[in-house]
Amino acid sequence: MDKKDQPTIHILSNSSVLFDATTLLGDKLAIQKRIWALASQCKKTYQCIDIVPAMNSLTLYFSNETKFIDLKEQLLNSWKTLQPEDFKGRHHKLITRYGGENGPDIEHVARFHNMHTEDVIARHSSVHYQVLFLGFQPGFTYLHGLDTQLHTPRRSEPRTHVPKGSVAIGADQTGVYPADSPGGWHIIGHTDFTLFDSNQSVPSIINPGDTIEFIAKDIAS
């Protein structure tokens, strides 16, 4: 079988493996949904310290040494039977204040696309975004689904401080900063929704496979 027809499994250590589906042909989002379904199945099947889904890949960290020959066969057999619709994530509604002090870059985004700020808000808040994976900082969500008319190159000079809760656009991505940090994305709004809480047993409130909807409120002119 051609390597592009099935995932590759890499042994990382005596207790961890990488399930790599990045070379597969076809709809990448559909492949990603199967990754989430596989991650969910692995949580029920194996004793893992951590299970980390990334874009079209999955890393498993086991609590004990593992027989990898059996594991490879089990993972590949599971992959053959899983379908994108087998995984159901949670949906989150994020109340968002667009423009003004909450979104200092929204006018720049509007001018860049020759549209009104109201158009930016309408397009940005009309989508159910899919959470592809978490990265950059704990709880930061990389979202799929930004309207192509809102794709905007990142700032030429990143800010040294972006406030927690900033809703921003960077190139073909949109997301929310879960904590104060530097950042080069254009800030168009703000939400009080908590994305990451280290005091919780599951710190990331939003997880890969979930969906996000931005609900416009208190729009500044």
User: What are 59-108's pLDDT values in tens digits?
Assistant: 999 988 777 888 899 999 999 999 988 888 899 999 999 999 999 999 99
Q: Which of 68-72, 114-118, 197-201 has the highest mean pLDDT?
A: 114-118
Give whole-number Cα distances, 92 to 126, 127, 131, 175, 194, in Å. 14, 12, 11, 13, 11
Per the structure block, which two tokens stand in for 192?
């009080």
Q: How does residue 201 score in pLDDT terms, banded at 50, 70 and 90?
A: confident
What residue has token string 């990389």? Answer: 142
Give whole-number Cα distances, 35 to 39, 97, 120, 206, 211, in Å. 6, 33, 32, 17, 16
Task: State phi, psi for 90 to the nearest 5 degrees.
Answer: -95, 155
Give strand pairing partners of 164: none
Q: How does residue 220 score in pLDDT terms, banded at 50, 70 and 90?
A: low
Any idea which of 2-6, 59-63, 173-177 has the lowest mean pLDDT?
2-6
- On whether the CB atoms of residues 219 and 130 are closer than 8 A, the answer is no
pTM above 0.75, yes or no: yes
- Cα within 13 Å of Cα(166), Cβ side: 25
On the question of pLDDT at 221 being above 70, the answer is: no
